[in-house]
């Protein structure tokens, strides 16, 4: 993340007795661009500067920028500084950025159809736990339905079937099971019947759902893919040794 500035320098010459002296004066500084990881969409880009306000004293600027990728706005405060005695170099830096960037590193094995909502659920967790929880519940339900073929009228029933699956590890089934208690489904029937509905959340519910999604995605997508790659590697080895492949 670095702001770039356009700098006007003026060279003043004067005579100190017989000796000609030269000093460089910083006349003006203008913010030129700001490259940053967009806090909305996560793309690293040169932001467009929409509006610039100079803050006195010194060379500090309030910058309202927009992301060329998602068109959302961000606010940054940048500073131009000639010289940093600690670094022994010229420095320009971003002093503040809003909204804050939260890196979201989803495993590449998670299919695209879940990634967008999942990313958003993580990003808005603090600003709107209700909306985040609604997104998480919907993704959870979609994964249970599409990846495990379990479909009922209510999420609670689907969870019931899911935790009974023979190969689900106990840490995951307990975590998924707890969604109903932590979300107090009894008091909020909509969470159960219309999972994507935005309704009040219980304390810690949005965070819990994200944790559960993390474990569920690991179980449903990441581990099977790793296993598949390991098998392929072993089979290639067997083949190179002139042996038949493993039984699947």
Q: Which residues bind Zn ion (CB under 5 A)?
A: 38, 40-41, 67, 69-70
| Torsion over CA: 99, 100, 101, 103 (sign) | negative
Asked whether the beta carbons of 183 and 133 are under 8 A apart, the reply is yes
Question: Least Å distance between CB 40 and Zn ion?
Answer: 4
Give the nearer residue to Zn ion in terms of CB position, either 101 or 148. Answer: 101
Give the nearer residue to Zn ion in terms of CB position, either 69 or 215. Answer: 69
Question: Least Å distance between CB 121 and Zn ion?
Answer: 17
Give the nearer residue to Zn ion in terms of CB position, either 41 or 163. Answer: 41
Give the nearer residue to Zn ion in terms of CB position, either 43 or 165. Answer: 43
- Strands 19-37, 44-55: pairing kind: antiparallel
SS3 84: strand
Instruction: Determine how many CB atoms are found less than 10 A away from the CB of residue 222.
Output: 15
Cα–Cα distance for residue pair 13/53, rounded to 1 Å? 32
Under 8 Å CB-to-CB from 221, ≥6 apart: which residues?
Answer: 107, 109, 110, 111
Question: Least Å distance between CB 23 and Zn ion?
Answer: 43
Question: Least Å distance between CB 42 and Zn ion?
Answer: 7
């Amino acid at each position: 993340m670095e702001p770039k500035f356009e700098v006007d320098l003026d060279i003043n010459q004067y005579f100190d007795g017989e000796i000609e002296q030269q000093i460089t004066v910083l006349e003006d500084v203008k913010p030129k661009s700001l490259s940053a990881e967009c806090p909305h969409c996560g793309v690293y880009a040169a932001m467009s500067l929409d509006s610039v306000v100079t803050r006195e004293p010194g060379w500090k600027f309030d910058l309202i920028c927009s992301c060329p990728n998602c068109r959302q706005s961000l606010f940054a405060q940048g500073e131009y500084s000639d010289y940093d005695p600690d670094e022994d170099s010229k420095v320009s830096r971003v002093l503040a950025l809003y909204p804050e960037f939260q890196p979201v590193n989803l495993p590449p094995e998670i299919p695209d159809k879940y990634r967008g909502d999942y990313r958003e659920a993580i990003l808005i967790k603090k600003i709107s736990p209700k909306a985040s929880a609604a997104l998480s519940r919907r993704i959870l339900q979609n994964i249970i339905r599409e990846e495990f073929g379990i479909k009922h009228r209510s999420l609670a029933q689907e969870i019931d079937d899911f935790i009974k699956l023979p190969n689900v590890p106990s840490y995951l089934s307990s975590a998924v099971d707890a969604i109903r208690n932590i979300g107090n489904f009894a008091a909020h029937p909509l969470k159960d019947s219309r999972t994507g509905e935005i309704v009040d959340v219980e304390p810690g519910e949005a965070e819990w759902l994200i944790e559960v999604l993390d474990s569920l995605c690991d179980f449903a997508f990441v581990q099977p893919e790793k296993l598949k790659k390991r098998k392929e590697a072993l089979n290639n080895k067997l083949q190179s040794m002139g042996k038949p492949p493993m039984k699947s």
